[in-house]
Amino acid sequence: MGGIVDIADYWQGFVRQSPLAVVTDVDGTLLPFAPRPEEALPGPDVVALLRELAQLQGLTVALASGRTHEDLDRLFGHVPRLLLVAEHGGWRRAEGAWQPVDLAPPEALAELARELERITSHQTRALVERKTWSVALHYRRVPPSERLGLLIQADAVVRAWVSGHAGFERLEGVHAFEVRSSRIHKGTAAPWVREHAGAGAHLLALGDDLTDEDLFRALGSADDTILVGRELARSTAARWRMNGPGAALAFLRWIRAVRREGTTPPPPVLPRPVTPLPLARKEAGERFKLLAISNRLPALRTPTEPCEERKRGVGGLVSALEPALTARGGLWLGWSGRALPGAEPGPACLDDDVLPPLAWLDLPGEWVEKSYNGFCNRSLWPLFHSMPERVRFADAEWERYEQVNEVFAAAASNIVDPDTPIWVHDYHLLALGRALRQRGHRGALGLFLHIPFPGVDLFSMIPTAERLLDELLDFDLLGFHTPGYVGNFLQCVGALSPARVGDDVVEHRSRRIRVGAFPIGILPESFQELPELGVAEETAALLQAIGQTRLVIGVDRLDYTKGIPERLRAFGRLLELFPEWRGKVSLVQVSVPSRADIPEYAEQRALVENAVGRINGEFGEAHWVPVRYLYRSYGHGQLAQLYRASDVGYVTPLRDGMNLVAKEYVAAQDPLKPGVLLLSRFAGAAVELKDAVLTNPYHSDGMARDLDRALRMGLEERLDRHGRLLAAVCRTTAVTWAEDFLRALEACR
Ligand code: GDG
């Protein structure tokens, strides 16, 4: 970003001040996370660095951790002059003995600890840790397949307890959570450290987790704060960021050099500002040649350090957009996923240390509730999926929706020049074309809709249908998955707007708007590679539990459009209509948690769980569980392995824009003995994947018969269908989709 030299100069000046105190968190900041806290040990180099820093004239070093004081003593107690702060500020040690703060340990916590110990009594790998003012549950070592059950129980206990005890809060950690008295936090240690550092001391705080925010907030304008770690979806009061413990240690070594030797070269790793975009505007405008805008962003990554969460998101959008943006010098803007407490959106921020560079903004919680949870997901989502009975409208939600679109437009026009092409994604941002034009944007504007576009009878149920359509016509290019959705859109324009409609073009206010089908795809080769051994183990255990039975697989976000209860019902009908399958076929349903704070989604979860219980109760036997239901997500490699091991890919949404799972299932098959894709007629994918067994998810008996047919299909027919399906999946991939759309967009102006 602009002014790198200034940043280096700033830090040279800051770290030379005396007296100066460096206050740093331990786990995740100085030491990388280890599988167990007791394994996270400081190496001799870390201890030596702390020792040398603590000896320097005018410099005080304090460690502020959530660990117990016994723990900190064991790890760092032997380092002379080091200040130690344990239990988030509750215990402190300068020289001599540890001192607790003056707050009686809350007796009620013992009761919570007992409850947690009770529910973990069968789970030897969970650990309940009692501290002075808090109780923590560590579940890092609990096998992933058992975590969910444990967390559901623990969550219920904690929720009930916290609601009955004022003055306590729950803190989320990495594979752990803690319930703590809210009067104890790291911010309370700041004056204590300052006092020990000497009058007028400046503080520099480093930390990675939410408990460090208390410390950041407690510091003043003459102090400074660095958030360590690359997590994007996280609000921070820190002014600077660094990538992780490696970077933090390098920075501390540089401080040692500056204070010991005076003049030194700039630090090898500079903290980056958690910066409002306007600072970067001038340079960014010249640099970014294309802007993509979507509601959410992919997780952060640097070119050298892929982050695990990101590797999971190999869905079509991310895998297609990342290379396309990177190749064109593009930037990706989205909502951070953070909901702010106040009424104002946060400033847009930029991270150009990743490829492609990412920009994001925070939105007020009330806007998220009304726009995202409201108009997007309780009006547009069900309506566009032809489920009008689930739709409801509220004027205030539509207003917030337009406002969110305006905030995105403001951020976009702050980062790129008015001539830059912009590619907008999905139903959250349908009004963005209008908002951008109102801000004077001249470059080509394209929108791709990832969900179906409904016919005019449905679309006209939107109270602001005409206005929304008119806003859409401010884009230059409108892309949909299938010709059917294109037809629906043109039908709506013909019926609700004065614009003139052609085959693939709309003429409106002397402008031509191109409309076309751009079917999204996947990266087929990424589903053909076998996963690494370590990755495969967990799925192998699942497959082993299923044993010799035939396998049917369903994989979806837990969403009512995906037709999961209907799918289960049809599976139950299969076992009734064709009893010969009992004991011989199993259904594995992977349901990825989604939009869990919207009531319809919680309801859907209960429906699915009941249906699973009913089938397993009615048909299950000692040696056979008909349905294995997994409410969790799997890694990309594990999914590929599950697809490949399954005889039938059971992909039966009630309505779906495209459905990538269908394409992934095809790509993952062994070409010599492929499984059968059973696909809903109402998925956009059915247009290209005509050689699947197409089924009607609203008709249980029919779907049960189709499932029976898929399970019985002979090798010759399977080979024949699979060959054609694979050719279709390889014809329109994630890459061709992005390239085709961008070519059309570039041709627009
Ligand atoms: C929207 C539209 C359109 C699922 N479970 C796991 C996992 N997934 C991945 C799948 C797939 C993706 O999520 C789901 O994509 P879909 O296309 O099936 O559905 P939506 O999420 O509803 O997507 C849809 C799509 O946008 C693209 O335009 O096709 O119609 O609704 O890639 O593999 N991925 C991993 N672990 C899981 O457990 N790693």
Q: What residue spans define the domains of the chain?
A: 4-103+184-273, 109-181, 281-521, 524-731
Give the side-chain half-sphere CA count within 13 A for 560.
22
Predicted confidence (pLDDT) per residue in 277-326, tens digit: 544 454 555 678 999 999 988 764 433 333 333 333 435 577 778 888 98
- CATH 3.20.20.30 corresponds to the domain 4-103+184-273: no
Does the structure show a pLDDT above 80 at 53?
Answer: yes
Handedness of CA 263, 268, 273, 279 (dihedral sign): positive
For a pocket test of ligand 1, which of 380, 661, 680 has the largest count of ligand atoms closer than 8 A to its C-beta? 661
- Distance (angstroms) between ligand 1 centre and the Cα of 299 equals 16
| Percentage of residues in the chain having pLDDT higher than 70 | 93
Annotated catalytic, 656?
yes
Closest residue by CA, ligand 1 atom 10: 661
pLDDT of residue 309: 35
What are the backbone angles phi and psi of residue 7, rounded to the nearest 5°? Answer: -65, -45
pLDDT of residue 230: 66
Kindly state if the Cβ of 573 falls inside 6 Å of ligand 1: no
Amino acid at 377: N
Kindly state if the Cβ of 486 falls inside 6 Å of ligand 1: no
Report the alpha-carbon distance of residue 604 to residue 558 in Å, rounded. 7
Beta-carbon contacts of residue 362 (< 8 Å; ≥ 6 apart): 235, 335, 336, 338, 339, 340, 345, 346
Kindly state if the Cβ of 639 falls inside 6 Å of ligand 1: yes
Domains 4-103+184-273 and 281-521 share a fold: yes
- CATH 1.10.260 corresponds to the domain 109-181: no
Averaged over 477-487, what is the pLDDT?
98
Closest residue by CA, ligand 1 atom 23: 659
- pLDDT band of residue 479 (cuts 50, 70, 90) is very high
Annotated catalytic, 185?
no
Report the alpha-carbon distance of residue 360 to residue 273 in Å, rounded. 14
Distances 402 to 380, 458, 468, 476 between C-alpha atoms, Å: 13, 21, 10, 19
Kindly state if the Cβ of 636 falls inside 6 Å of ligand 1: yes
Kindly state if the Cβ of 554 falls inside 6 Å of ligand 1: no
pLDDT of residue 274: 73
Report the alpha-carbon distance of residue 226 to residue 207 in Å, rounded. 7
What is the dihedral angle through the alpha carbons of 636, 297, 33, 245, rounded to the nearest 10 degrees? 130
Kindly state if the Cβ of 744 falls inside 6 Å of ligand 1: no
Report the alpha-carbon distance of residue 211 to residue 87 in Å, rounded. 10
Averaged over 500-526, what is the pLDDT?
95
Averaged over 651-662, what is the pLDDT?
97
Closest residue by CA, ligand 1 atom 21: 557
Report the alpha-carbon distance of residue 357 to residue 329 in Å, rounded. 9
- Helix orientation angle between 660-668 and 715-731, rounded to the nearest 10 degrees: 120
Kindly state if the Cβ of 315 falls inside 6 Å of ligand 1: yes
Report the candidate in 339, 361, 233, 224 with the shortest Cα–Cα distance to residue 293. Answer: 361
pLDDT of residue 302: 34
Name the architecture of domain 524-731. Answer: 3-Layer(aba) Sandwich (3.40)
Kindly state if the Cβ of 658 falls inside 6 Å of ligand 1: yes
- Distance (angstroms) between ligand 1 centre and the Cα of 637 equals 15
- Distance (angstroms) between ligand 1 centre and the Cα of 590 equals 12
Report the candidate in 387, 466, 475 with the shortest Cα–Cα distance to residue 682. Answer: 387
- Kindly give the pairing relationship between strand 500-501 and strand 505-508: antiparallel
- Distance (angstroms) between ligand 1 centre and the Cα of 556 equals 7
Averaged over 52-76, what is the pLDDT?
96
Peptide bond into 19 cis (omega under 30): yes
Report the alpha-carbon distance of residue 443 to residue 381 in Å, rounded. 29
Average pLDDT, the chain: 89
Q: Which atom of ligand 1 is nearest to the CA of 634?
A: 38
* Chain CA centroid to CA 617, Å: 35
> SS3 helix, strand, coil % of the chain, rounded to 5?
45, 20, 35
Does the structure show a pLDDT above 60 at 392?
Answer: yes
Kindly state if the Cβ of 577 falls inside 6 Å of ligand 1: no
> Six-digit token pair at 130?
């009692």
- Considering only 34-38, 245-249, 592-596, which range has the smallest mean pLDDT? 34-38
Averaged over 690-702, what is the pLDDT?
98
- Kindly give the pairing relationship between strand 224-228 and strand 202-207: parallel
Name the 3-class secondary structure at 629.
Answer: strand
Beta-carbon contacts of residue 485 (< 8 Å; ≥ 6 apart): 449, 452, 453, 517, 657, 684
The residues with which 327 forms a beta bridge, in sequence order, are none
Kindly state if the Cβ of 664 falls inside 6 Å of ligand 1: yes
Kindly state if the Cβ of 527 falls inside 6 Å of ligand 1: no
- Kindly give the pairing relationship between strand 676-680 and strand 693-695: parallel
- Distance (angstroms) between ligand 1 centre and the Cα of 659 equals 7
| Helix/strand number for the chain, H first, E second | 27, 29
For a pocket test of ligand 1, which of 312, 553, 555 has the largest count of ligand atoms closer than 8 A to its C-beta? 555
Does the structure show a pLDDT above 90 at 239?
Answer: no
Averaged over 92-100, what is the pLDDT?
93
Catalytic residue among 27, 208, 656, 706: 656
To which residue do tokens 């907008």 refer?
Answer: 424
Closest residue by CA, ligand 1 atom 8: 556
Helical H segments across 497-584, by residue range: 533-546, 564-577
CB environment 712-743: b (16+ within 10 A), e (fewer) = ebeeeebeebbeebbebbbebbbebbbbbbbe
Report the alpha-carbon distance of residue 594 to residue 632 in Å, rounded. 10
Predicted confidence (pLDDT) per residue in 77-86, tens digit: 999 999 999 9
- Distance (angstroms) between ligand 1 centre and the Cα of 555 equals 9
Predicted confidence (pLDDT) per residue in 333-359, tens digit: 999 887 887 788 877 877 777 788 888
Handedness of CA 11, 16, 17, 20 (dihedral sign): positive
Distances 427 to 108, 294, 493 between C-alpha atoms, Å: 48, 9, 17
Answer for the pair 347, 372: CB distance below 8 angstroms, yes or no.
Answer: no
Largest Cα span, the chain: 84
- CATH 3.90.1150.10 corresponds to the domain 281-521: no
User: SS in 3 state form for 279-290?
Assistant: HHHHHHHHHCCE
- Distance (angstroms) between ligand 1 centre and the Cα of 390 equals 22
DSSP 192-237: HHHHHH-TT-EEEEEE-SHHHHHHHHH--TTSEEEEES---S----
DSSP 32-90: ---SSGGG----HHHHHHHHHHHHSTTEEEEEE-SS-HHHHHHHHTTSTT-EEEEGGGT
Kindly state if the Cβ of 375 falls inside 6 Å of ligand 1: no
Q: Which atom of ligand 1 is nearest to the CA of 635?
A: 39
Does the structure show a pLDDT above 80 at 5?
Answer: no
Report the alpha-carbon distance of residue 279 to residue 284 in Å, rounded. 9
Report the alpha-carbon distance of residue 407 to residue 397 in Å, rounded. 15
Q: Which atom of ligand 1 is nearest to the CA of 312?
A: 39
